[in-house]
Structure 1
């Protein structure tokens, strides 16, 4: 079970943004940990520290193609007076049963190969004649050594200090060190480290499965022909993409017509693959606000403790909101408004933190900064509501993008921040310092 019971209030209660968010975060619970293979764990959050069992590198090895030698044998080497060493054989990456390098000897060594016993340093092939007796190896010849397995002599034209071009055992991490801390989100570098220390599986909280669906008989799938009165369904695409950006595995469901029974059946069918359900549209007070009608069935005796409450929030855009849990597993559901900007702003404020909470993260919010407002005129805002305006942030300043209309999708596409105007402000003059939510 991933949720507790949300709070309820009377139909006339005007919720603040913070009250609504606090209720969501107090209700949603992190998903139960599971053991996953490394690639399946990408994007998941570790639930326990991972300790290094094998030092990296696990042995001293060469960082260059060249020759493993003793320091004394190449001291004072120069192009005029090269050090002539006997080549006793090859040391390749993965080699076992290593050669021994004695006085006056060298072993041809490849990048990543273990430093053989007796050797103290590595001379890059560019500092030698490559075992070909033709002077210092340069250009294309710098990448060519004597034929594999060849012995004979190599001339070294420069000295090398102790352990030059040698990657020391444990120089990256040592056995017993903490490789990754609990709470780490596993990206490609972290998965690389886990594989390098021999971990094939890890215990993580899985990425939440989020089902997104939009409602409205006027909605048409992109690429289909528009008929009079129809519009393309953009909300479900935007919210599905936003859910994936937040770290979820998101499933987009085609737009559902304004029919309560159809919507109810669709949601019930999707619960099998949902840790969170997000709807958009149908939450206001109109005659065709089907989400309210469809979800009212959940608050009955068949599913005790579940139910969706539809609320009015003191915010703009996004005043109408719905939140609760549905189904036998009490799957959390957030019902967002249908206007594109309202739904996206609502997602950033409420759904994204819920997804990050399901993942088991502690910092679930977008970063916020203070910035100087740059605008041609003062911003106006309705008293008693917290307004969120689209903006572009750069170098400590933020500039409004587009107007306040909740249908302005083009302006939203140009924004990378939300300008926050508090409830007690009805006007914000240019040059004023404002709070900014960074979206990128």
Structure 2
């Protein structure tokens, strides 16, 4: 295994997605709309009604007929119509109706003139007829949503805006996927939980598990946290076994490189299966993917930036695929305004910042040092600068591929 060739990044990602394509994640539940923010639809949502369900006014103003528009420039106000009103009085010829926003529009109406666009004297209005168009300021039945049409497909992440649309349809429950259960732990005798005092000069804080936990929560997962596991083969093996029983995915940080104390990879080889564990990408070469019983296993590198990048580029697509969501990111081809250091041989994900230059043109700049231990390079980043494996150093002014961060990172 130590001499196994490096997979290309695209090969690794495709292998992960191919592995999950046969999985039909059917753990679903019906929940209240109030509890559904950032959950994922498990089936198509079909509209039970038209929105609007009746023709209504989009403005406070005056309702006119087409014949009166052609023959008159001054109309008497016959009646007023308010939101919620069910019946109308007679609408005489050569008259208009005062109408409020949301009030029902009676049959035969041509347009609503905004109250700001009329001159009112006593009980009459005058206006410029040349500026009135058919249907102006009228919201028609089904204009927003048609009864029987698909509002959202399965696999749709429910934002507040989308839930608001469902609320306008009178829906109070929605069928969603149950949160994917993800077990996490970090390995290493040098690790100390955040919030505690470092016991020695060689100790470091376990920031990786904290970061992974946050990203999993942002993706709507249920996190089962096993904490820090010491560098002991039996202890790590037992933890992996237990984690695989409780979770759909097991994610670890550290222990998947080539050192003598990289027990996670050794334990996985004994109790599970390893599909691959080396990728031609930077940062994040030592990323392990496999299975333990029925749970997927993702072993992240120990360096903080490597953990972040491999989770985003490989674990995130796995989770989204189980939720029937697309993980493709928005990409751009932009000029870099920074010189970028790059060695030939691995696909490189460098942290960048997309912004407009003085001429209003979108460009991208580096956020600084790109070492796999320098997490501060993410602080101002809003994208990855993706440099091809065969590419070397990049000079300012060259075109580069830019992958914008998904919204859950921003």
* TM-score w.r.t. length of structure 2: 0.77
Is 1:58 paired with 2:53? yes
Match of 2:263 in 1: 290
Q: How does 1:163-312 map to 2 (within 5 A)?
A: 165-182=137-154, 184-228=156-200, 229-245=202-218, 247-251=219-223, 253=225, 254-271=227-244, 274-299=247-272, 307-308=273-274, 311-312=277-278
Q: Is the 8 A contact 2:353 2:366 kept in 1?
A: yes
Q: Is the 8 A contact 1:312 1:320 kept in 2?
A: yes
What displacement does 1:59 show?
1.1
Q: Is the 8 A contact 1:401 1:415 kept in 2?
A: yes
Q: Deviation per CA, 1:256-284, whole angstroms, max 9, x where unpaired?
A: 33344444454555556633221111112
Q: How many residues align?
A: 389
Q: Is the 8 A contact 1:264 1:295 kept in 2?
A: yes
What displacement does 1:298 show?
2.0
What displacement does 1:123 show?
6.9
Q: Deviation per CA, 1:61-118, whole angstroms, max 9, x where unpaired?
A: 233456767788898576xxx8364x5xx7553444x232342888775432323578
Distance 1:84 1:357, change over 3 A: closer
What displacement does 1:213 show?
2.6
* Counterpart among 104, 115, 137 of residue 114 in structure 1: 104
Distance 1:101 1:180, change over 3 A: farther
Partners of 1:187 and 1:345 in 2: CA distance: 25
Partners of 1:94 and 1:273 in 2: CA distance: 53
Match of 2:4 in 1: 13
Match of 1:5 in 2: none
Q: Is the 8 A contact 1:340 1:409 kept in 2?
A: yes
Q: Is the 8 A contact 2:367 2:380 kept in 1?
A: yes
Q: Deviation per CA, 1:222-249, whole angstroms, max 9, x where unpaired?
A: 332223222222112222333344x332
Q: How does 1:21-32 map to 2 (within 5 A)?
A: 21-28=13-20, 29-32=23-26
* Counterpart among 123, 126, 129 of residue 155 in structure 1: 123
Match of 2:318 in 1: 354
Distance 1:173 1:435, change over 3 A: closer
Partners of 2:65 and 2:331 in 1: CA distance: 58
Deviates more, 1:316-325 or 1:158-167: 158-167
SS of alignment partner, residue 265 of structure 2: helix
Partners of 1:385 and 1:171 in 2: CA distance: 51
Of the two, which has the highest radius of gyration? 1
What displacement does 1:334 show?
0.3
Gapped regions of structure 2 (runs ≥ 5):
356-360
Partners of 1:117 and 1:368 in 2: CA distance: 49
Q: Is the 8 A contact 2:289 2:299 kept in 1?
A: yes
Q: Is the 8 A contact 1:63 1:165 kept in 2?
A: yes
Distance 1:252 1:412, change over 3 A: farther
* TM-score w.r.t. length of structure 1: 0.73
What displacement does 1:337 show?
0.6
Partners of 2:97 and 2:400 in 1: CA distance: 67
Gapped regions of structure 1 (runs ≥ 5):
1-9, 130-134, 137-153, 300-306
Is 1:324 paired with 2:290? yes
Match of 1:379 in 2: 341
CA RMSD of aligned residues (A): 3.8
What displacement does 1:345 show?
1.7
Distance 1:430 1:70, change over 3 A: closer
Match of 2:358 in 1: none
Distance 1:64 1:272, change over 3 A: farther
Q: Is the 8 A contact 2:237 2:271 kept in 1?
A: no
Q: How does 1:81-160 map to 2 (within 5 A)?
A: 83=76, 85=78, 92-96=82-86, 98-103=87-92, 110-115=100-105, 155-158=123-126
Q: Is the 8 A contact 1:100 1:118 kept in 2?
A: no
SS of alignment partner, residue 57 of structure 1: coil
